């Protein structure tokens, strides 16, 4: 098994058959010991966070597969905290696609002159560049095309998939009385045929979820979502 990449919350290995293995670690993004899904640093280590994140990821990827939404998911081993996935290449050096249902986080920090905290947003999709040194700047569709990061067709796929996937997650949360405020996804082109698919993970660390107006921490969200599953 060859290590391809050491990430902040996961390590990536290449298996002998060419598939990738994602190893979920107990590192959580945040600053000074406080969790923040938007942070670019590992802020704290939480015992069991890797497995909990993987269990929720498996839960959502299996729902997406059942809904015929294309993803990289192959299978998961919770004991080992690993997930086998189809290898993909990312757009440029990687993008994050955010879908927003309520104004919080970086949206509010940027547009606070016009937006109220918690104001409803209609599955608003925006893309940011994965560029830690530049604090993951937002990028427009035309800039993505102009800089040859992706094509217009790929952008359309990305936006459509983002809305579909986010809706699946939102519906699953709402079954447990939880409201999804925003979610951050990653996409790539499958190495085998170039198809645009969802990659990476969908765990508590990728979203902001609230119950009765109160923010739910990732580990708590994972517990609430998987109770009885």
Ligand X SMILES: Nc1ncnc2c1ncn2[C@@H]1O[C@H](COP(=O)(O)OP(=O)(O)OP(=O)(O)O)[C@@H](O)[C@H]1O
Q: How far is the CB of 143 from ligand X (least distance, A)?
A: 19
- Residue 146: how many CA atoms within 13 Å on its side-chain side? 5
- In this structure, what token pair is assigned to residue 131? 């560029």
**What is residue 119's three-state secondary structure?**
coil
Q: Which is nearer to ligand X, 107 or 136 (CB)?
A: 136
Interface with ligand X (CB under 6 A): 5, 7-10, 12, 20, 72, 85-88, 90, 94, 130, 186, 188, 199-200
- Residue 133: how many CA atoms within 13 Å on its side-chain side? 1
Q: How far is the CB of 118 from ligand X (least distance, A)?
A: 26
Q: How far is the CB of 227 from ligand X (least distance, A)?
A: 26
- Distance (Å, rounded) from C-alpha 210 to C-alpha 204? 11
How many other C-beta atoms are found inside a 10 Å radius of the C-beta of residue 154? 17
Q: Which is nearer to ligand X, 12 or 15 (CB)?
A: 12
Q: Which is nearer to ligand X, 1 or 113 (CB)?
A: 1
Q: Which residue has the tokens 């990653």?
A: 186
CB 75 within 8 A of CB 83: yes
Q: Which is nearer to ligand X, 21 or 180 (CB)?
A: 21
Q: How far is the CB of 192 from ligand X (least distance, A)?
A: 11
């Amino acid at each position: 098994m060859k290590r391809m990449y050491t990430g902040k919350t996961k390590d990536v290995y290449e298996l002998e058959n060419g598939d990738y293995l994602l190893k979920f670690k107990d590192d959580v993004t945040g600053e000074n010991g406080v969790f923040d899904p938007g942070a670019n640093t590992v802020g704290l280590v939480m015992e069991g966070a890797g497995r909990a994140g993987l269990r929720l990821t498996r839960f959502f990827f299996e729902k997406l597969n059942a809904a015929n939404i294309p993803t990289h998911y192959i299978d998961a081993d919770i004991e080992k905290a690993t997930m086998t996935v189809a290898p993909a290449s990312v757009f440029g050096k990687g993008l994050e696609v955010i879908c927003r249902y309520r104004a919080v986080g970086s949206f509010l920090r940027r547009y606070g002159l016009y937006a109220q905290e918690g104001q409803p947003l209609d599955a608003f999709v925006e893309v940011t560049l994965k560029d830690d040194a530049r604090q993951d700047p937002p990028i427009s569709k035309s800039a993505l095309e102009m800089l040859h990061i992706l094509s217009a067709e790929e952008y359309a796929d990305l936006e459509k998939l983002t809305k579909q996937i986010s809706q699946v997650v939102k519906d699953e949360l709402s079954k447990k009385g939880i409201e999804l405020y925003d979610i951050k996804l990653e996409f790539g082109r499958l190495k085998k045929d170039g198809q645009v698919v969802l990659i990476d993970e969908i765990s508590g660390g990728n979203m902001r979820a609230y119950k009765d107006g109160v923010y739910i921490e990732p580990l708590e969200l994972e517990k609430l979502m998987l109770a009885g599953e």
